[in-house]
Amino acid sequence: MLSLRPNCECCDADLPAAAIAYICTFECTFCPACAVDRLGSTCPNCAGELVRRPVRPAAALARFPAQTERHLRQEPCPGQPAAS
C-alpha cells in the first residue's frame, strides 16, 4: 500500500492525500511544479520516472490514513538554490 507522504521532497509543499502529487517506484514524492518543471518527470534520488500518485478513496483513507512523517532531500533538488 502506498504511504501517501505528506510533502514534496524538494520544496516541502504540503501534499494532502487528495492532492495531485508525483511519485517514483520508491515513493519519493514531489509536487507537480517540482516534478514536471524542475525535475523533468525524473526522480532526483533514483533516476526513475515520476508518475501521478493515485488518490486513495475517502473510505479507504479513513481506514488506512496517509503518512505524517515528512521527507526532505538532504541535498537541494536540481535547479533549487542551496540552503544557507
CATH number for the domain that contains residue 50: 3.30.40
Structural domain range at position 42: 1-58
Q: Answer whether residue 63 is part of any domain.
A: no
Give me 67's grid cell.
Answer: 503518512
Question: What pLDDT, in 10s, does the model give residues 8-46?
Answer: 999 999 999 999 999 999 999 999 999 999 999 999 999
Closest among 11, 9, 19, 25 to 66, alpha carbons compared: 19
Q: How many domains does the chain have?
A: 1
Q: Answer whether residue 83 is part of any domain.
A: no
Percent of residues, the chain, with pLDDT higher than 90: 85
Quote the pTM value: 0.89
Q: Answer whether residue 31 is part of any domain.
A: yes
Predicted confidence at residue 83, as pLDDT, reads 57
Q: Answer whether residue 76 is part of any domain.
A: no
Give me 65's grid cell.
Answer: 490514513
Q: Answer whether residue 64 is part of any domain.
A: no
